[in-house]
Structures are given as structure tokens and as C-alpha cells.
Chains A and B, each alone.
Chain A
């Protein structure tokens, strides 16, 4: 079955760089049509889409955060890494990774999600 799990620090200081890893199983990012996205949710607030990386290494970013985000994949390890620079307290949120499947006739976005990891930004 498909599973995803986020890992990374629970606490980062302002101005530091956050590195999150999504480790997944049940699919491969070398398979055509497979994609992994990152989404975050500040406490009590709405979901926010951050970035996506596709099987062909295409990458897409949030407009407001694109100067701070980098997404990459390690196909051999079944991992996707998201880095966010210059962290600020407003970046405190639960960060999720999720799979998207792009088919020939239909796209099924965010069908499987990780459990999320809470990142707190504080000095």
C-alpha cells in the first residue's frame, strides 16, 4: 500500500533553514505520472500548497515562497526533500507531503498523505 512519512526538526530558530524529508513506499517517483507535493497548515488556519516535484524532475513552487523553497528527489531512496530558507515564526505549521498521480485521462491530486510534522519556529 501507499504510505508517506514526513521527518525533520520539530523546532527551528528564526533565520535558519528548514529541511524536511518525505519518505514514501508503495510507488516510485521514477514511474511516469507520479508526483509528490508539500502542503502546510499553520495552527487553526487553512491548508497552503507549497511545492511539487514530478517523476520527470519538473518542479513547481508557491509564488509567494518560491525564493525560499527548494524541492528535490532521491529516487533510489524513495525520498523527497523540501528546504525552506530564512524561517520565521509565521512559518510555524504542520507540514504534509502527499502524492499526486497524473494519468493519461485524469489527474488524481493528493490522494495519499503523510501524517504531517509540526514545525515550530522560535528562538
Chain B
């Protein structure tokens, strides 16, 4: 799986949009971009994933550049409860019935939402 690069930390004011960047310049055509977050002392929580089109759900938006070498996770109105470590992961599509699917976590971005 391709490697990702994220800034180690970011601050965001409560109520403002949090834009978390991720570089994945070696991504291949069959790799998805996934975002997870981990609030302190909890298991990771799935946020969103995409292949090449921008995606939006109730939690966030994912913007993937046209060349797919980078992406941005957007939390439109950050709250204090969004303070967490955010992980950007690229992964191949799992084969049917295979045991692939484990996620390889980097160091992520520690997002601190401040009042």
C-alpha cells in the first residue's frame, strides 16, 4: 500500500472548518483513500473514503486532487469533540474472500479544536 504524509499537528477554532491535508504521491490506480480518526483512548473511527471523486457524508467531505496525489479532509464546522488524531490511509481494494483489508496506520495529524 502507498505511503501517506500528513502534518503532525494542526489547530482549528471551534465552529470553523478544519482542513486536513494528506499527500499520497505514490498512490496507484486501484488504491482508495481512507480517513479514520482516533479520539484519545478509543478505537479508530471510520470517517470517509474515496477513489477519485470527491465524497461527502454526514461527518466530513473528502476532496481528492485530479492526479490523486493528495487529498484534503474537511470538517465543515469543527467542535471540541472533533479533537483527535486523524489518519489518512491508502489501500488497495480488497479481493473477494481474501484476508486483505488490514489498515496500515501512519502517525496521523493531531487536530486540536480550541474554543
Q: Do A and B come from one complex?
A: no
Which residues of B does A touch, CB under 8 Å? Answer: none
